[in-house]
């Protein structure tokens, strides 16, 4: 954690003039995102950037810190230490990595380029055409709100001490994989309820102020709710020593979901219910999966399997009526 904070305060480029600063950083977007009026002269612009601690000054001129370049660079390639942290977006043909359709590497800083990045991803996501009696429209297979939250999390929570890798969004025919360098600081099973922790507090605070990420760690909750609302499988989280990967799946019928898909969805459903002051029930799980009432035993079986995995427990287990049983996550 200490390395990441130090990295963000390190020099990205030094011995600069005011004109250099204005040519390297997107100062107009800086003020726009902070919802501040643009000063009428360069002194006002430079002073505000110093105040916000994205640049500093010494006897040889101005210094752009890594945090300043990372967020507000017009072109990340102008900063040797930062360019390797640029976001990559890869679109594949099919469900594997054998054939790449297109690949894009972001050049703008995370803050000034974020909306453009999300728009680019949205435009290449798989979509289906919906035809009603009077209207024809295109519906994205993935809720862009969920994609936005996961991309923002990947940027914010990456481990800058891991070299040779950067945040990456890979789009397949049946899923999206969003990967960032580094392991999370909290157990992935607690992403929904745990107080947010970040190894990059400077970056996180800035991104919150710019309304790019959630202020109280509710971003993952929003992802789960969007998946439930759109009848998508729940996201899967994969942790390695060098990376964290979240997989967002496309449409998959209940019949095509495997056992772990159903258990994961049941557990996360109980988490969302609990943090909302409610309980998971057989009925709420049937609604989650679109299971008909007469097939209530299917939901009961998923609940039993989730309990066996140690992810779920019954609330007030001495309740004799299974019909009205309530369930909570294992940590509640």
C-alpha 296/C-alpha 62 separation (Å) is: 67
- Our measurement of the distance from residue 39's CA atom to the centroid of its chain's CA atoms, rounded to an integer in Å, reads 33
Classify residue 22 as exposed, middle or buried by CB count within 10 Å of its CB (0-12, 13-18, 19+).
middle
User: Dihedral of CA 2/3/6/8: which sign?
Assistant: negative
Which one-letter DSSP state was computed for residue 84? T
Pairing state of beta strands 243-249 and 312-315? unpaired
Label residues 88-126 b or e (16+ Cβ within 10 Å = b): ebbbbeeeeeeeeeeebebebbbbbbbeebbebbeeebb
pLDDT of residue 6: 86
Residue 29 confidence (pLDDT): 96
Render pLDDT for 33-86 as a digit per residue (tens, 0 to 9): 999 999 999 999 999 999 999 999 988 899 999 999 999 999 999 999 899 999
Kindly list the structural domains of the chain, giving each domain's residue range(s) and its CATH number in brackets, ordered by start.
2-78 (no CATH), 88-249 (3.30.565.60), 257-329 (1.10.10)
Residues 6+ apart with CB under 8 A from 129: 136, 137, 138, 139
* Confidence at residue 131, expressed as pLDDT on a 0 to 100 scale: 46
Residue 192 CA to residue 32 CA, distance in Å, equals: 32
pTM of the complete model: 0.91
Asked if pLDDT for residue 2 goes beyond 70, the answer is no
Tokens representing 56 are: 């500093």
Q: What percent of the chain has pLDDT over 90?
A: 73
Give the side-chain half-sphere CA count within 13 A for 181.
18
Which tokens sit at 54?
């994205």
Short-list 245, 253, 251, 193, CA closest to 227 = 251
Rg (CA), the chain: 23
Instruction: Please report the pLDDT score of residue 5 as a whole number.
Output: 67
Other CB atoms within 10 A of residue 33 CB: 20
Count the residues in the chain: 332
CA distance 310 to 100: 40
pLDDT at 283 over 60: yes
Query: Which of helix, strand or coil describes residue 105?
Result: strand
**Token pair for 45:** 């612009």
Residue 155 CB burial class (10 angstroms; 0-12, 13-18, ≥19): buried
pLDDT in tens, 108-150: 999 999 999 999 999 999 876 554 445 545 567 899 999 999 9
- The set of residues, in sequence order, having a beta carbon less than 8 Å from that of 16 and lying 6+ positions away, is 24, 61, 62, 63, 64
Query: Mean pLDDT over residues 272-279, rounded?
Result: 94
């Amino acid at each position: 954690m200490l390395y990441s904070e130090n990295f963000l305060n390190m020099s990205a480029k030094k011995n600069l003039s005011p004109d250099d600063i204005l040519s390297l950083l997107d100062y107009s977007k800086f003020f726009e995102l902070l919802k501040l009026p643009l000063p009428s002269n360069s002194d006002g612009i430079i002073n505000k950037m110093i105040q916000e601690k994205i640049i500093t000054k010494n006897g040889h001129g101005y210094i752009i810190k890594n945090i300043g370049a990372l967020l507000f660079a017009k072109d990340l390639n102008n900063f040797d230490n930062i360019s390797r942290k640029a976001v990559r977006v890869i679109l594949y043909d099919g469900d594997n990595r054998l054939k790449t359709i297109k690949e894009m590497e972001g050049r703008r800083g995370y803050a000034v380029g974020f909306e453009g990045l999300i728009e680019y991803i949205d435009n290449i996501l798989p979509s289906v055409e919906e035809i009603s009696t009077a209207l024809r429209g295109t519906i994205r297979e993935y809720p862009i709100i969920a994609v936005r939250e996961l991309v923002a999390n990947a940027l914010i929570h990456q481990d800058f001490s891991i070299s040779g890798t950067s945040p990456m969004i890979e789009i397949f025919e049946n899923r999206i994989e969003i990967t960032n360098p580094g392991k999370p600081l909290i157990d992935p099973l607690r992403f929904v309820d745990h107080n947010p922790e970040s190894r990059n507090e400077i970056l996180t605070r800035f991104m919150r102020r710019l309304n790019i990420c959630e202020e109280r760690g509710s971003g993952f909750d929003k992802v789960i709710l969007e998946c439930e609302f759109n009848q998508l499988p729940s996201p899967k989280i994969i942790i390695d020593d060098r990376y964290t990967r979240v997989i967002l799946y496309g449409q998959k019928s209940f019949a095509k979901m495997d056992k772990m898909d159903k258990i994961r969805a049941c557990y996360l459903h109980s988490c969302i219910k609990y943090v909302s002051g409610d309980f998971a029930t057989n009925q709420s799980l049937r609604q989650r999966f679109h299971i008909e009432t007469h097939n209530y035993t299917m939901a009961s079986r998923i609940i039993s399997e989730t309990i066996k995995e140690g992810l779920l427990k019954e609330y007030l287990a001495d309740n004799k009526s299974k019909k009205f049983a309530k369930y909570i996550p294992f940590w509640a």
